[in-house]
Amino acid sequence: MASLTSFDLEKRKRLPTLFEVLSRYTLAPVDLFSFYIYMRDQQRSVDYLDFWLDVSQHMSLCRHYVRELRRSVLIATPEGGSRPSSTILENIPDIPVEAGPSGYHAASNEKDADSRLSAFLRSENPAQPSPPESGHSEKHTPEERPPRPSFMNSTPETRYDSSNSPGHTVTRTDIRRSAEKILYTYLIPDSEREIVLPPEMLTSIIDMVERDARDDPEVFDQAKDYVFQAMERDAFPGFLQAKALGNLVPLSILARLAFGLISFLGAFWASFYVVLTDKSRTTRCWVILPFAVASYFITTYQYKIDPFMALLGFSEYTFMNWQKIQEPYVGSLLTQRALVTLAYAFLFAAALSILFIFVPGTYL
């Protein structure tokens, strides 16, 4: 991940894009970790995000392989000598590790570098198609399936350390296995975590991997773009609304609704009791307390935000688990919405309390 400086964060006075989230250019609560939790718990379509991440990791693996190969060729080539592979490798410049969909906000030299990388991998002697590994037929329940991204087991302090370089020398066999793993995990019909793609796109990918023995990144470019656009259209707007305009998860929101309705029931019962028994106005002032509690929880349900937690700088990512808000613009948005929510809760509670305090009392 590119380093996030305070200047970069202050300069971005807007909500992030999906590309920025996937590239880990954002901080909590609109970071990749939070988006993964949202896709898993609320959208129930985390397999699409995992596919995108695995294809990006495959691209990083290919780049690391070519980088190591170029380094070994340069070391092995005597000074003044020349080798065809050395010339080809010199034409592949270094590319940033993080990559969005092909052609998405990318400079032309980066797109050319991607094409040259794939062309070089195709120019090497292709590996023979290998039969599906046992992992293709294995089925794992959600409980048995290991967590996919490394940041799911990370701490907030180490979550943004996203080095994609493997801890070993990458071989062509590793690239081949990576491509087959993506194919057999997400794309083959009835696979472990099958995602829905257009039939012609799916057939093309299967043919390229199994029949043509291709494992270069261009094999998955169309599918990666398709999944990116699907997430951008169907999931990302809801994610921004949930995390940038609120700080509660659905279960917490429903719990607040239930507690608010129960509090309102108690508030109205107490209010009618003090009115129908003609209690003094001093005694009636006690109805302010249940109305304040009920108004607070109902408004937090309506606006999907806990004002006090937002003012303290916290956002809920799973039920009753909170994380510190680190994205400056999101923090300012939530602070403004928290103040507005508190104002509405105060006005609502004040109106109902005044009504029952000053209404004439009577005995039945």
Query: Taking the domains of the chain in order of start, what are their residue ranges?
Result: 17-237, 245-358
Asked if pLDDT for residue 132 goes beyond 50, the answer is: no
Tell me the average pLDDT across 49-72. Answer: 90
* CA gap 170, 168 in Å, rounded: 6
Cα 102 to chain centroid distance, Å, stands at 20
Please choose, from the candidates 20, 32, 323, the residue with its C-alpha nearest in 3D space to the C-alpha of residue 162: 32
Q: Do the Cβ atoms of 357 and 281 come closer than 8 Å? A: yes
pLDDT tens, position by position, 85-97: 545 555 555 544 4
Give burial (CB, 10 Å; 0-12/13-18/19+) of 237.
exposed
At 53, the pLDDT band (50, 70, 90 cuts) reads: very high
Question: 168 — phi, psi (to 5°)?
Answer: -145, 170
At 158, the pLDDT band (50, 70, 90 cuts) reads: very low
pTM of the model: 0.80
* CA gap 223, 50 in Å, rounded: 13
CB count in 10 Å sphere of residue 249: 23
DSSP letter at 132 equals P
Hey, is 212 helix, strand or coil? coil
Q: What's the mean pLDDT when you consider all of the chain?
A: 82
pLDDT score of 364: 58
pLDDT score of 131: 45
Q: Do the Cβ atoms of 276 and 318 come closer than 8 Å? A: no
pLDDT score of 55: 95
DSSP letter at 363 equals B
Least trusted range by pLDDT, from 103-117, 148-162, 328-342? 148-162
pLDDT tens, position by position, 248-264: 999 999 999 999 999 99
Least trusted range by pLDDT, from 62-76, 149-163, 339-353? 149-163
pLDDT score of 111: 62
